[in-house]
Amino acid sequence: MKQSLLWIEENIPLARDVFRMRLTGDVSGVERPGQFVNLRLEGRFLRRPISVFDRAEDGITLIYKAVGEGTRQLARMTEGEALDALTGLGNGYDLSRAGDSPLLLGGGVGVPPLYWLAKELRGAGKPVCAVLGFGSREDVFAEEEFRALGCDTRVTTVDGSYGRKGFVTDAMPESCSYFYTCGPEPMLRAVWAKTVSEGEFSLEERMGCGFGACMGCTVRTKSGPKRICKDGPVLRKEEILWEE
Amino acid sequence: MGGVTREKEAPRPADADRLRVNLCGTELDNPVIPASGTFGFGLEFAEIYDINILGTFSFKGTTREPRFGNPTPRIAECPAGMINAVGLQNPGVGQVIREELPRLKQVFHKPVMANVSGFSLEEYAETCALLDREPQVGWLEVNISCPNVHGGGMSFGTDPKQAAAVTRAVKAVTRKPVILKLSPNVTDIAEMALACEEAGADGISLINTLQGMRIDLKTRKPVLANLMGGVSGPCVFPVALRMVWQVCRAVRIPVIGMGGISSAEDVLEMMMAGATAVEVGAANLRDPLACRRIIEDLPAAMDRYGIRNIRELGGH
């Protein structure tokens, strides 16, 4: 973990209630895809955890959904303003387990952490299949970015207004070497039930601190209690305690 | 640096000396103590600053048996604060002694405050007896006030006879100073403190969190899985200050004031109410460097209000 002051270079709408924010500053604490930053907002007591979409030498890009008061406030911030950020939080995805045909499954605002992961996997020369699920046409984002990386990119919408109608589990390939997923819990449970290979899930919980101190986000797993912010947010499939 | 300053005329004591306080017979470099439940066993904070600058810290509330705590969501936000219903998640005193304390010792080299919870007199006594044998434990802070556990904890904190019974049970098994941590969820806080003092307590700390809740407008249901939780943060500071004031006028033993402290000025105000030292809780979660900042800000804040030594303020 590092505490840094990051400067907003860009904060623009991408899709319905979804924004892309580019920040520059000391991001040396941001180490791995799947990690998140925790942003302090004026007038809000708790920070807001946001996963990292992409990382460059001098900054990071976040994609977030304005769902509550805090994230709506974040969406109103403009270029040139500064954010107090805790960076490098969470364990992140384990790239060493990808194998030769990794599959990425993202739903809605669960898509962003998979982009940097896809970039790293493509950089390592692996063929990557990315299935991105959204509610409707106006919710879709990041499709071109995944395609530009050379991923086999498939988009689904629940209402069929764009891409294939249905859920990510309807468009995923029959097999893969390993999968990485992030999205709303009903989607993750469907992925958990329908995948045969091993894989990793990025989970979400309401957090107090975001760095492991308060035990506010602990869940039960097969390997004991785990703090989603510190021991997670990424858990391996075999650790997760969901019913068959 | 102290030597040079002392040689001057009308010396202003070195900052290090100005902050020292005595808590139940042990000197603290300063009165700033991260509160239990907001600081784990120190490791997360040791990643970003040298936690040896602290007076001490109170480690995560420990019970005899391991506890998972409550289901999530355990955390809600409120204006100028937060609500938690963690429910005393901890690995149990056995694992705390075997695994956490050796790790703690690597990053913190001062006496530490052991925070203990329980559900029966026997459990309090057994847990404290085990921690009494740990050389690094300087004080036992006995929590009789957790609002988030069912079937015990809280009644010890709301009935003066029960509070006195816990105090006696713990005092019988340890020679370390015993500090009773009180709940604000009572009608007469001074009566609680007095009962503990008469039963042999060496100190009092207060306040634990105030019971509260939030409802999600979209779902029309409570935000917390536990329905209710404990409110902390700057919003509780005036309530905490009032209770510390009342307790300090009722007892002669040292009092640790806590509840919403997030600045050096808050520390001074709490000590003017009579506290010997302070604990800082929720502020650590919002700003992991909060305690370092408070300690660094204290000398200048004292200068502004003409305070030479912090121990002049309230204290005993």
pLDDT digits (tens, 9 = 90+) for B273-315: 999 999 999 999 999 999 999 999 999 999 999 999 999 997 6
C-alpha to C-alpha distance for A83 and B4, rounded to whole angstroms: 41
pLDDT on residue B4:
45
pLDDT digits (tens, 9 = 90+) for B230-262: 999 999 999 999 999 999 999 999 999 999 999
Report CB contact under 8 Å: B39, A40: no
Nearest to A214 among B37, B72, B76 (CB): B37
Identity at A98, one-letter amino acid code: A
Given a cut of 70, the residues of chain A with pLDDT beneath it are 244
Distance from CA of B55 to the nearest CA of A (A): 19
Residue B33 inside a domain? The answer is: yes
Residue B76, domain member (yes or no): no
| B76 in contact with A, Cβ within 8 Å | yes
Domain that holds residue B177: 2-70+87-214+232-312
Is B258 inside a domain boundary?
yes
Is B80 a member of any domain?
A: no
In a domain, B223, yes or no: no
User: Is residue A68 less than 8 Å (CB to CB) from chain B?
Assistant: no
Share of chain B above pLDDT 90, in %: 89
| Residue whose C-alpha is closest to residue A53's, from A76, A82, A22 | A22
What's the rounded mean pLDDT across residues B119-138?
96
The pTM of the full predicted model, rounded to 2 decimals, is: 0.93
B264 within some domain: yes
- Would the pLDDT of B7 be above 50? no
All domains of chain A in start order, with CATH = 2-89 (2.40.30.10), 95-239 (3.40.50.80)
- B284 and chain A in contact, CB less than 8 A: yes
Looking at the complex, report in whole angstroms how far the Cα of residue B219 sits from the nearest Cα belonging to chain A. 13
Cα gap A161→A34, rounded to integer Å: 29
Query: Residue type at B120?
Result: S
Residue of B nearest to A207 (CA): B75
Query: In the prediction, which pLDDT does B2 show?
Result: 40
Closest CA to B67 of B95, B101, B106: B95
B18: domain CATH number is 3.20.20.70
Evaluate whether residue B77 is within a structural domain.
no
Residue A157 is given by DSSP the state E
Q: Does B84 touch chain A (CB under 8 A)?
A: yes
Interface of A with B in 102-121 (CB under 8 A): none
* pLDDT at residue B57 tops 60: yes
Chain A nearest-CA residue for B90: A215
Write out the DSSP string of chain B. -HHHHHHSSSPPPPHHHHT-EEETTEEESSSEEEPTTSSTTSHHHHTTS-GGGSS--BPPPB-SS-B--PPSP-EEEETTEEEE-----B--HHHIIIIIHHHHHHH--S-EEEEE--SSHHHHHHHHHHHHT-TTEEEEEEE---TT-SSSHHHHHH-HHHHHHHHHHHHTT--S-EEEEPPS-SS-HHHHHHHHHHTT-SEEEE--PEEE--EETTTTEESSTTS-EEEESGGGHHHHHHHHHHHHTT-SS-EEEESS--SHHHHHHHHHTT-SEEEE-THHHH-TTHHHHHHHHHHHHHHHTT-S-GGGSS--
Specify the number of domains making up chain B. Answer: 1
Q: What is the pLDDT of residues B190-243, one digit of tens each?
A: 999 999 999 999 999 999 999 999 999 999 999 999 999 999 999 999 999 999
Q: What is the mean pLDDT of residues B142-164?
A: 77
Establish if B248 belongs to a structural domain: yes
Q: How far is B16 from chain A (nearest CA, A)?
A: 26
Q: Which of B43, B48, B68, B75 to mutate to test the interface with A (most CBs of A within 10 A)?
A: B75
pLDDT given at position B68 = 96
CA distances from B102 to B8, B61, B97, B136 (A): 44, 17, 7, 10
Q: Which residues contact B163 (CB under 8 A, 6 or more apart)?
A: B144, B156, B157, B180, B182, B192, B195, B196, B199
Would you tell me which residues 174-233 of chain B have a C-beta closer than 8 angstroms to some C-beta of chain A?
223, 233
Residue ranges of A 8-67 with Cβ closer than 8 A to chain B: 40, 44-47
